[in-house]
Amino acid sequence: MVVQVLAPGDEGPVPLAERALHLHPDDTVAIALVDLAPGTALAWEAAEDPSGILRVGQLIPAGHKIALRPITPGEPVRRYGQIIGLAGGRIEGGMHVHDHNLEARRPDPVHTFSHEVRPAETVAGAEQRTFRGIRRANGRVGTRTYVAVISTVNCSAHTCRAIADHFTPERLAAFPQVDGVIALTGGLSCGMEVGGREYVYLQRVLAGMIRHPNVAGAVIVGLGCEGNQPADLIANYGLEETATGPLTWLTIQQAGGVRKAVEAGIEAVEGMLPIANEATRSPQPLSELVVALQCGGSDAWSGVTANPVVGLVSDELVRQGGTAVLGETPEVCGAEQLLTQRAISPAVGQQLLDHIRWWEEHAARMGTSINNNPTPGNRAGGLSTIYEKALGAVAKGGQTPLMAVHDYAEPVTGRGLALMNTPGYDPVAVTGQVAGGATLVLFTTGRGSVFGFKPAPVIKIASTSDLYRRMADDMDFDAGVVLGGVSLEEAAGELCELMVAVASGRPSKSEAQGIGEAEFSPWCTGEVL
């Protein structure tokens, strides 16, 4: 977006709609399309001034909120027709509304559950779409083919990376169907209770990666004395029967040290590559696609352009019989009422509320609050409270029924829209979603996140055209065209075509730069001894 500062006296009154977006009739704020200078006269038929003029009282940066009328102390402030906080003091019409005068408080929400929600209708016959996917022997369909080298403990992380680094593009040239050998290494395993929350989450993530339809073979590497033993991981999740491809494991201590473990790991991968290379692409129904919905580096436009566009793509994916997975539970807080009322059952809606309550209590135990979620970049981009951020974030989930709520990294086995309980931190959230089975990620950003993730390709959607142009090597899709007059439906149609192309093998921008291994981050809730 080209930023323009309108100084008083540059022109006469200009229609509010040309300088700001009033998103909902109930909203008490509008979003500045350009920087608005003090004294700028905005013509608005609903202005309290009899002249029909709303005069800007102070500099309003582009993307930030301008009060449309006087707001009394403690009065709810609305955007999207929903409460984004309470006025911290009197706010005059034309003034800047942001975290200096907007408190992250709201009246106790009333959550309703519908007893009439039905699964979304799906298409049949000629309307069914396909992508060129990779059907595995167990029936699951992938979008990429990787061999993964997986550490059970940080002590074996270097060894895993050394094994994977051996397989340069030159060494992989003989295996054209293999997208790469990747090292998935975390920072935990010891210092946690065996069988406790951290242990379960870690094992669930590792098992999910080994069973992932984009992983055609896996080598597990441990140190040998850690709490998360490779043999226990395999036994606990039946991985000898459920792994997508060949599976083996070793420990550095049994191998005789790092050098010998690296040699053994290289030999194991070399034995898997010919098998992985047998993968072929063929037309597969779009119903086999599982897409993680994620946002990072959000700004005020994310909830106006990128997220609603993704929401329409999510709806179309569900209409095709596919699966979309929301995450980032803390970034649902303030918008959960929009999901509970379309949950497939009261029980599913209550599961979401239980997770949100846990997050509020967890934040309090850690001495912080949910409202610490909006980052400095989010706030600079115009987002003032977690409630405002959440209302834009849940737009990624479209309008279809919420079919299921899953705990972190649990397998997503159903179809339709689901939510997975994850933190808002992108690497941890996507790690859980992909471990749960997501084979592609739609990732919206307003500030310019450069996120990638292996083994699932990531499509990054820019909220403004300025961001798309400025970071052309990193952004896959320009949702900012919506601000220029392109309809949400037209933009969603183009994004859907891109999603099908990337699922069929076209590299995303992050893949083209080799981004995606360092982002692997299993969730640690803090219970490390």
* 3-state SS class at 307: helix
Extended beta strands in 187-322, E state: 215-222, 247-251, 282-285, 290-295
Contact 188, 524 (CB under 8 A): yes
Mean residue pLDDT across the chain: 94
Distances (CA, A) of 13 to 7, 56, 119, 252: 12, 11, 49, 73
**62: Cβ contacts below 8 Å, ≥ 6 apart:** 1, 3, 32, 33, 34, 35, 382
Quick: pLDDT tens for 453-481: 999 999 999 999 999 999 999 999 999 99
Q: What class, spelled out in words, does domain 5-103 have in CATH?
A: mainly beta
Q: How far apart are CA 131 and CA 140, in angstroms?
A: 14
Contact 314, 396 (CB under 8 A): yes
Q: Tell me, what's the pLDDT at 193?
A: 87
Q: How far apart are CA 255 and CA 237, in angstroms?
A: 24
Length of the chain: 529
- Computed on alpha carbons and rounded to an integer, the radius of gyration of the chain in Å comes to 25
**98: Cβ contacts below 8 Å, ≥ 6 apart:** 64, 65, 379, 382, 384
Q: Tell me, what's the pLDDT at 5?
A: 41
User: For 291, which DSSP code?
Assistant: E
Q: From edge to edge, which strands make up the β-sheet containing 76-79? A: 76-79, 82-87, 102-103
Q: Tell me, what's the pLDDT at 263?
A: 98
Distances (CA, A) of 146 to 84, 119, 218, 427: 43, 34, 9, 19
Q: How far apart are CA 393 and CA 299, in angstroms?
A: 10
* Domain assignments of the chain as residue spans, ordered by start: 5-103, 146-276, 289-307+318-481
Q: How far apart are CA 451 and CA 457, in angstroms?
A: 10
Q: How far apart are CA 143 and CA 214, in angstroms?
A: 6
Query: Phi/psi zone of residue 448: left (φ > 0), alpha (ψ -120 to 50 degrees), beta?
Result: left
Cis amide prior to 274 (ω within 30 degrees): no
β 247-251/215-222 pair status: parallel
Q: Which residues pair with 420 in a beta bridge?
A: 406
Instruction: Tell me if the domain spanning 146-276 has CATH number 3.40.50.
Output: yes
Quick: pLDDT tens for 233-285: 999 999 999 999 999 999 999 999 999 999 999 999 999 999 999 999 999 99
Q: For each successive 10 residues of the chain (529 residues), what is the average pLDDT?
A: 44 90 97 96 89 95 97 97 97 97 90 88 92 96 98 96 98 98 87 89 97 98 95 97 97 98 98 98 98 96 98 98 97 95 96 96 90 89 95 97 98 97 97 98 97 98 98 98 97 98 98 97 81
**440: Cβ contacts below 8 Å, ≥ 6 apart:** 143, 289, 290, 291, 292, 456, 457, 458, 459, 499, 502, 503
β 35-36/76-79 pair status: unpaired
Distances (CA, A) of 237 to 84, 232, 430: 43, 9, 21
